Amino acid sequence: MHYDYVIVGAGSAGCIVASRLSEDPKVKVLVIEAGGSDRSLIISMPAALPFAYQSKKLGWGYQSGPEPNLGGRTIDEKRGRVVGGSSSINAMLFNRGNALDFDSWAEDGLTDWDYAHCLPYFRRMETFQDGSNEWRGGEGPMKISRCKASHKLHDVFLRSGEQAGYSVTPDHNAFRQEGLHIAQAFIHDGSRWTPAHGYLHPARKRGNLTLMSNTTVRRVAVENGAAVGIEIESPDGPKLITCEREVILCAGAFNSPQILMLSGIGDPDELRAHGIELKAEARQVGKNLENHPGVNLQYTTSYEDSLVSELNLFGQAKLGADWLLRKKGLGTSNFFETGAFLRTNSEVTYPNMQFEFLPLTRQLKNGKLVAIPGFQFWMDLSRPQSRGRVSLRSSSPKDPPSIVFNHLSTAQDVKDIIDGIRMAREMIRQPAFDKYRGLELAPGPDVQSDSELEAFIRANVGTSFHPAGTCRMGTDAEAVVDAEARVKAVRRLRVVDGSIMPKIVTANLSASIMMMAEKISDRILNRAPLPPSSAPFYQSAR
């Protein structure tokens, strides 16, 4: 089996790179995916998000930990093992990140990755429901809609923010991210819309693109310092697939570094400990792991005022029928329909905390998440200082990688989340919530001091499932990949996924990963980059 390009992983980046490369009819492209088909009701229906999250068939089942600063706890990390990758199971939120995120990449030497050079690729990838302008695209493969946010508690959340002194931004993916907002989502005509829908499935009709699903990649084959193909598991044993041009890893922030290390690319000391032959030294593979750690703030409200009142047995039947027959109603919602990007202190120049509002609350009962009448704020720290790592458990590709985020290893991270809780409580104390505010369930009314809040955070912190940074892009000698995503230590090998982010963005990662895949695809094809944008963006004073 011989191809020009072999792409490992049919997630967000893999679908886009495969589609763009196969636009050249003279090249043969192979995409290898460990999971199976994305044709599933629980993937397509936005409201079935909890079932997609919990599906063992659709996920890798990874856990991080033991986490040294959280009492040795482990944390579930939802990652999609299916065509479409995590875009097939995530919350579908479309958040690009702050313009200053990308400018900070440029300040560290990645001059072609500032906002002006990234914005044209964000625009190229999308068709925004409200149409195109200097910030938004109108002809791209990814369909982006505004959430309806029709439940009354969404409006209460927005009004409470205004009463607390914050603004509501009309489009947090345009001029100004900071403030409260009505969410935008990868939802089209009432159904989840993934890069598999927008890019991969249409591209498979070309004939020069092959998808091989339910296939495990054992390693990248490296000869004389260059990638020559990949080795896969097969019923007859390991099988080599060669390629003429490049191997492109799009396996995500956990699996891409694992595959590199299994291939003999990494820290020599770690590889030696597992009996893996060193092919190329790259000591930062698996290091610099980031995520967005966060907690829930939960309150009760009356049954009639919570979304739970629409999710009784009759409501669930109506939801299913409306969606199946008309693609209308509550089944078209991901429920996270309002949110905010805010600053916890005056020392940061742009938002460092993300809030997602939910007009119900959920608690774990008998091992299952159960919706109860209430509302909740999920808040996560957008730019944490803490760093973790991904490492090998063994030399077998069948064993999951070891994942340790090292959350809350710095006092600043703890302080920022404490400040975020206080901000949320201040919003909930506003008059807009007076009719709806019940008992505070978490952290609870008795948890007030910094030490009490820190204890709550360490016992309850989770993540937004946004791993990044483990194959860091940079111009310095320690960076794993260069500005065009080429692995520095091995020729004909690239990594294109969230693992190459030099610093995590202030948002859900999906949109930025898709932008990166679009931008790097041009470099692989030696196409002229899109001209930089001159669109302005909001920059506040300290």
Residues annotated catalytic, as ranges: 466
CA atoms of 32 and 10, how far apart (whole Å)? 7
CA–CA gap between residue 2 and residue 275 (Å, rounded):
29
- d(CA 159, CA 194) in angstroms, rounded, equals 32
CA distance 289 to 254: 9
Burial 238-274 (b: 16+ CB within 10 A, else e): eeebebebbbbbbbbbbbbbbbbbbbbbbbeebbeee
Which is nearest to 497 in space by CA: 251, 262, 159, 267? 251
In this structure, the dihedral spanned by the alpha carbons of residues 444, 446, 451 and 457, taken in order and rounded to 10 degrees, is -10
Buried b (16+ CB within 10 A) or exposed e, 79-110: bbbbbbbbbbbbbbbbbbbbbbbbbbbbeeeb
Q: How many other β-carbons are positioned within 10 Å of the β-carbon of residue 36?
A: 14
Work out the number of other CB atoms within 10 angstroms of the CB of residue 393: 11
Strands 239-249 and 226-232: antiparallel
CA 483/CA 333 separation, integer angstroms = 38
State CA 362 to chain mean position distance: 22
Rounded-to-integer distance, Cα 52 and Cα 45, Å: 10
Residues 411 and 138: beta-carbon distance below 8 Å: no
Tell me the β-bridge partners of 240: 231
Q: Is 400 helix (H, G, I), strand (E, B) or coil?
A: coil
In this structure, are residues 332 and 48 in contact, taking their beta carbons and an 8 Å threshold? no
Alpha helices in 204-349 (DSSP H): 252-262, 268-273, 313-326
> Collapsing DSSP states into helix, strand and coil, what is residue 404?
strand
Q: Bridge partners of 390?
A: 403
138 Cβ contact partners less than 8 Å away, ≥ 6 residues apart: 127, 128, 131, 132
Token pair belonging to 241: 């697939």
Residue with tokens 């690239």: 494
CA distance 259 to 229: 13
Q: How many CB atoms are located within 10 Å of the residue 475 CB?
A: 12
| Cβ pair 382, 353 in contact under 8 A | yes
The C-alpha atoms of residue 63 and residue 69 are separated, in whole angstroms, by 16
